[in-house]
Amino acid sequence: MQTPGHAVLNLALLGAGSHSALLLPILAGAVAPDVPIVVLYLREHYLRGLPDERIWSESYQQPFWLNLIHGVHSVPLTLLGVLVSLGAGSSALAAFFASALLHALEDLPVHAQDAHRHFLPLSQYRFISPLSYWDSRYHGRTVALVEAVLVLLAAVWLWPRFPLLGRAALVAVEGWYAFTYWKTFLR
């Protein structure tokens, strides 16, 4: 799934309106697993000037980045984070890890050739889904549309619970989805 979609979906699924003290941890946990990908992309794109194709086929495939990215998308590790946080009595940390766990579970069904090793460190297994949120060889066009609709529904649910700034962010996410769909499938 696309990173901004995780943020909107997780806030809705974990029930965080703007009044919730857990809004920030849920938001942080929703985007955290994709932070290494963003850092890698920005470094290779802006500092090294590599074209997107080489970033995904070469830089992204280096063991260091793959291990890091797959490690932060781990179901057992994020689940352990939830349990340890609950044991320590921190609802904020538990919300953070629960949101990161949800992120991993949201990615699991929509990654095909780029599947993460979601069960590290227990197993190296990669579930190669028949569906992809971007790859048209794996129904990407349809899956991306379904993802966009789900995120839109989550944004509609959040709308009355958010102040003006939050609503502006929701509009920005919807704009992002419209733009990337056009850029990927319609252009």
Binding site for Zn ion (CB under 5 A): 33-34, 107
Rounded CA-CA distance 137/134 in Å is 9
- Considering the complex, what minimum distance in angstroms separates the CB of residue 89 from Zn ion? 29
Nearer to Zn ion, 120 or 162 (CB): 120
Helix axes 140-158, 3-13, angle to 10 degrees: 50
Rounded CA-CA distance 172/179 in Å is 10
Nearer to Zn ion, 33 or 81 (CB): 33
> What is the per-residue burial (b if ≥16 Cβ within 10 Å, else e) of 138-162?
bbbeebbeebbebbbebbeebeebb
- Considering the complex, what minimum distance in angstroms separates the CB of residue 73 from Zn ion? 6
How far apart, in Å, are the Cα atoms of 22 and each of 83, 89, 90, 158, 165? 17, 14, 11, 14, 17
- Considering the complex, what minimum distance in angstroms separates the CB of residue 126 from Zn ion? 14
Nearer to Zn ion, 30 or 158 (CB): 30
The separation between the first and the last C-alpha atoms of the chain, rounded to the nearest angstrom, is 20
Nearer to Zn ion, 134 or 162 (CB): 134
Nearer to Zn ion, 14 or 162 (CB): 14
- Considering the complex, what minimum distance in angstroms separates the CB of residue 26 from Zn ion? 15
- Considering the complex, what minimum distance in angstroms separates the CB of residue 5 from Zn ion? 10
